[in-house]
Structure 1
Amino acid sequence: MRRDTFLKSIAALTAAGALPLPSWAAANLKMMIPANPGGGWDTTGRALGKALQDAGVASSVSYDNKGGAAGALGLAQFVNASKGDPNALMVMGAVMLGGIITGKPPVSVTQATPLARLTTEYNVFVLPASSPFKTMKDVVEQLKKDPGSVKWGGGSRGSTEHIAAAMIAKEVGADPAKINYVPFRGGGEATAAILGGNVTVGGSGYSEFQQYIESGKMRAIAVTSPARLKGIDVPTLKEQGINVEIGNWRGVYGAPGITPEQAKTLVDMIVKATKSKAWAEALEKNGWTPALMTGKEFADFVDRDFAQLRATMVKAGMV
């Protein structure tokens, strides 16, 4: 039998139910997004869901947004309601680790199953277009005079932009314990506060503010990367004499209590998804840097990053 005829026969038998589908082909996945709509975790979770379907490894993906406490509320729901569920996923990242360090919630990410790191993104600090300040130097001068008069807006307490703000204060000689940080439950809330002039300076991933920067509604004054981001004409903190660099990675976990085989199946599905056209388009659109890491390597990375973040936060006076 010719190869093409054989493949057509296999496809026909599968469609007719004579052959079993691969275990993942009919997967109806549930994605916990421990943040409100409009932020980085929300964008990441929905982009991953689309990529899983585009790669043909999931037939459907449903989403559950549960914002608050740097992801701790969503984490608690995920840990308590998804035990042993091989079709449950949760988006998480550096922000959740920071929130656990500062908030000390009754649940921990160690109760869930580490699967994969997906991306890295650096933060950008912005001013509303109506701000009397024009540069990071202006913000720093005011910060030195009166740390509490500068309202920093961003993600939950312990987020990378919160840590960066404390690091900036310490670096320029202001008391990091006196910074006025206003946490928001999601990117949408933070964006509204910045556009409304309710905070002095806002921080988040560049993709969340991009349309407002390009339209002139926000003025980008610094990025937290080691060098300027590709195609983005915004100076780094370092080139402005502020020795601060911090990145924000995002990843995905499985439910507590799943078997190693089930975890491997999910990892394989995620790896296939990251090779899809939909994922490539999401990386390009959002300016994400691919940073795939899976399994034990990822679990070890999370342990190291938790320790490093805690040390940084202690040094910055946040813990």
Structure 2
Amino acid sequence: MRRDTFLRSMVALAAAGSLPGVARASVNLKMMIPANPGGGWDLTGRALGKALQDAGVAATVTFENKGGAAGALGLAQFVNANKGDPNALMVMGAVMLGGIITGKPPVSITQATPIARMTTEYNVFVLPADSPLKTMKDVVEQMKRDPGSVKWGGGSRGSTEHIAAAMIAREVGVDPARINYVPFRGGGEAVAAILGGNVTVGGSGYSEFAQYIESGKMRAVGVTAPARVKGLNVATLKEQGINVEIGNWRGVYAAPGITPEQRKALTEMVLKALKSKAWAESLDKNGWTSAVLAGAEFEAFVERDFAALRATMVKAGMV
């Protein structure tokens, strides 16, 4: 084929939207992060945005943070403002399900469109470096003596660290209703409270505490994983005789009212992003475990996890 003929053919393909990568790479996406800056959802959303661009499926990604009520405020804004918009995404996860169970907001996650689960992460409990308590055993003993004297700091009520704290109390013979849990709207607020000594023990994903653990400003005393987490030299709660295990997965949803074709296109974009170099670097940097699940399988998983989470919270005395 002559060069001028080839170029004309390529231009025609591009104009028709048939050239691989051309149509989708021009998309300008917007992403709702239903939490304040600095937390796990914020880190995840911005990492996904970078990966979408790195994979060549989005030209730009803009972000909006709306914290509060375990993500319910951001969810409500996302659902109400983006109906039928094929270029809108929202980060969510187990924490949002927990918040819906405890808070019973007027808007439900079932109103949005499931796209994919991306990662799972276990909660790490930490103490300020200068705390008189040095181990999880110390925390438990103090809680047994006076449950209200131990302030547990973490995400919104219904978050996985809140559930884990209630489960720990129940396992060691303390009424979960008596735990003193202090919720924060974002990871940045929780970190400040822990470093400032305003809470006794803090809980969150390792990615939010990593730099402070590594610098010695926080002491990790337990993780809610079934086995030791790679790169984190801290015993699981199970190893310490506390039979508590809970994971914190994160996923992404699209707006309500989009067509099946639009949902398929967004799913393909996200899945391609999750194979990018930028995403691989984010997994490694933040200690996230890849847990990709998409389409109908993801939707069914959310339904099952919602039921399982509710059962766990009922057992822990939270519902």
TM-score range, shorter chain: over 0.9
Per-residue deviation, 1:299: 0.5
Amino acid at match of 1:187: G
SS in 2 for 1:126: strand
Q: Aligned equivalents of 2:16 and 2:293: distance in 1?
A: 34
Q: Aligned equivalents of 1:171 and 1:127: distance in 2?
A: 20
Mapped pair 1:111 → 2:128: no
Residue of structure 1 equivalent to 2:235: 235
Per-residue deviation, 1:6: 9.8
SS in 1 for 2:24: coil
Identity rate of aligned residues, in percent?
Answer: 80
Residue of structure 1 equivalent to 2:301: 301
Q: Aligned equivalents of 2:232 and 2:110: distance in 1?
A: 36
Task: Kindly tell me the number of residue pairs found equivalent between the two proteins.
Answer: 316
Per-residue deviation, 1:146: 1.1
1:30-69 equivalences in 2 (<5 Å): 30-69=30-69
Residue of structure 1 equivalent to 2:315: 315
Amino acid at match of 2:7: S
Q: Aligned equivalents of 1:113 and 1:28: distance in 2?
A: 19
Do the aligned partners of residues 8 and 171 (structure 1) sit closer, same or farther apart at CA in structure 2, a change above 3 Å counting? farther
1:178-217 equivalences in 2 (<5 Å): 178-217=178-217
Residue of structure 2 equivalent to 1:265: 265
Per-residue deviation, 1:11: 8.9
Amino acid at match of 2:227: A
Residue deviations 1:20-47 (CA, integer Å, cap 9, x gap): 3643221110100000000000000000
What is the aligned-residue RMSD (CA, Å)?
Answer: 1.7
Q: Aligned equivalents of 2:12 and 2:37: distance in 1?
A: 38
Q: Aligned equivalents of 2:9 and 2:164: distance in 1?
A: 54
Do the aligned partners of residues 115 and 10 (structure 1) sit closer, same or farther apart at CA in structure 2, a change above 3 Å counting? farther
Per-residue deviation, 1:18: 4.6
Q: Aligned equivalents of 1:7 and 1:74: distance in 2?
A: 51
Per-residue deviation, 1:109: 0.4
Do the aligned partners of residues 264 and 217 (structure 1) sit closer, same or farther apart at CA in structure 2, a change above 3 Å counting? same
Per-residue deviation, 1:142: 0.7
Q: Aligned equivalents of 2:271 and 2:207: distance in 1?
A: 23
1:4-23 equivalences in 2 (<5 Å): 9=7, 13=11, 18-20=15-17, 22-23=22-23
Mapped pair 1:289 → 2:289: yes
SS in 1 for 2:239: helix
SS in 2 for 1:35: coil
Per-residue deviation, 1:130: 1.1
Do the aligned partners of residues 239 and 92 (structure 1) sit closer, same or farther apart at CA in structure 2, a change above 3 Å counting? same
Q: Aligned equivalents of 2:34 and 2:220: distance in 1?
A: 27
**5+ residue gaps, structure 1:** none
Amino acid at match of 1:94: A
SS in 1 for 2:64: strand
Q: Aligned equivalents of 1:156 and 1:114: distance in 2?
A: 22
Residue of structure 2 equivalent to 1:251: 251
Residue of structure 1 equivalent to 2:141: 141
Do the aligned partners of residues 26 and 185 (structure 1) sit closer, same or farther apart at CA in structure 2, a change above 3 Å counting? same
Q: Aligned equivalents of 1:77 and 1:109: distance in 2?
A: 12
Per-residue deviation, 1:220: 0.4
Runs of 4+ in 1 over 2 A off after TM superposition: 5-15, 17-23
Q: Aligned equivalents of 1:23 and 1:111: distance in 2?
A: 28
Q: Aligned equivalents of 1:299 and 1:75: distance in 2?
A: 17
Amino acid at match of 1:179: I
TM-score relative to the length of structure 1:
0.96
**5+ residue gaps, structure 2:** none
Q: Aligned equivalents of 2:151 and 2:201: distance in 1?
A: 6
Do the aligned partners of residues 151 and 11 (structure 1) sit closer, same or farther apart at CA in structure 2, a change above 3 Å counting? farther
Per-residue deviation, 1:7: 11
Mapped pair 1:156 → 2:156: yes
Q: Aligned equivalents of 1:221 and 1:77: distance in 2?
A: 37
TM-score relative to the length of structure 2:
0.96
Do the aligned partners of residues 6 and 241 (structure 1) sit closer, same or farther apart at CA in structure 2, a change above 3 Å counting? farther
